[in-house]
Amino acid sequence: MEQENRSYTATEEVTPEKTAKAVGSGELEVYATPAMLALMEQAAAACLAPLLKEGETSVGAQIGSTHLSPSPLGATVRATATLLSFDGRTARFAVTAEDDFGKIGEGEHTRAVVGAQRFLQRMREKKPL
């Protein structure tokens, strides 16, 4: 599949469960920054998925974002991930988010490609410190 100009947009509604107050990232009933970041990651993962080989998945490795504007309950939020580079192991994305009123966030996100079974096995082998 062609890598150039790949993008994907994920959408969700701002519900009470997605507010800063509900997730513990603030006291107000506005769209939470962690929810915005998760939607950006969701868009990036979906954008990358068709490029992966059987048995591979991607995991979030880094995200840097600015949350520019609050979104009220009931607003629709759209996060778009645009693939900047992919070398088969690491994918870099430009990510943006907007609501019904305009841009609310922007940044960059990196995803790492891993073998799903090996990744889960490494997790199972973890020992407490």
**Whole-number Å distance between alpha carbons of 104 and 116:** 33
pTM: 0.94
The yes-or-no answer on residue 67 being catalytic is yes
Using a pLDDT cut of 90, give the percent of the chain over it: 96
Q: Name which of 67, 62, 65 is nearest 20 in CA terms.
A: 67
Catalytic residue among 9, 33, 82, 90: 33
Catalytic residue among 41, 80, 96, 98: 41
pLDDT in tens, 10-54: 999 999 999 999 999 999 999 999 999 999 999 999 999 999 999
The yes-or-no answer on residue 41 being catalytic is yes
- Say which residue the tokens 């939020």 belong to: 77
The residues spanned by each domain of the chain are 7-124
Q: Is 111 annotated as a binding residue?
A: yes
The pLDDT assigned to 13 comes to: 98
Q: Name which of 32, 10, 6, 13 is nearest 80 in CA terms.
A: 10
Q: What is the mean pLDDT of the chain?
A: 96
Q: Name which of 63, 60, 44, 53 is nearest 115 in CA terms.
A: 53
Q: Name which of 56, 55, 48 is nearest 109 in CA terms.
A: 48
| CATH top class, domain 7-124 | alpha beta
Under the banding of pLDDT at 50, 70 and 90, the label for residue 1 is: very low
Under the banding of pLDDT at 50, 70 and 90, the label for residue 125 is: very high
**Which residue spans within 14-126 are E strands per DSSP?**
56-67, 76-86, 90-99, 102-115
CA distances from residue 31 to 59, 100, 122 in whole angstroms, order as listed: 24, 13, 34
- The encoded tokens of residue 95 equal 């990510």
Residue 108 in 3-state DSSP?
strand
The pLDDT assigned to 4 comes to: 66
Catalytic residue among 67, 80, 96, 109: 67
pLDDT in tens, 82-98: 999 999 999 999 999 99
- The encoded tokens of residue 29 equal 């009933």
Q: Is 102 annotated as a binding residue?
A: no
Residue 107 in 3-state DSSP?
strand
The pLDDT assigned to 5 comes to: 79
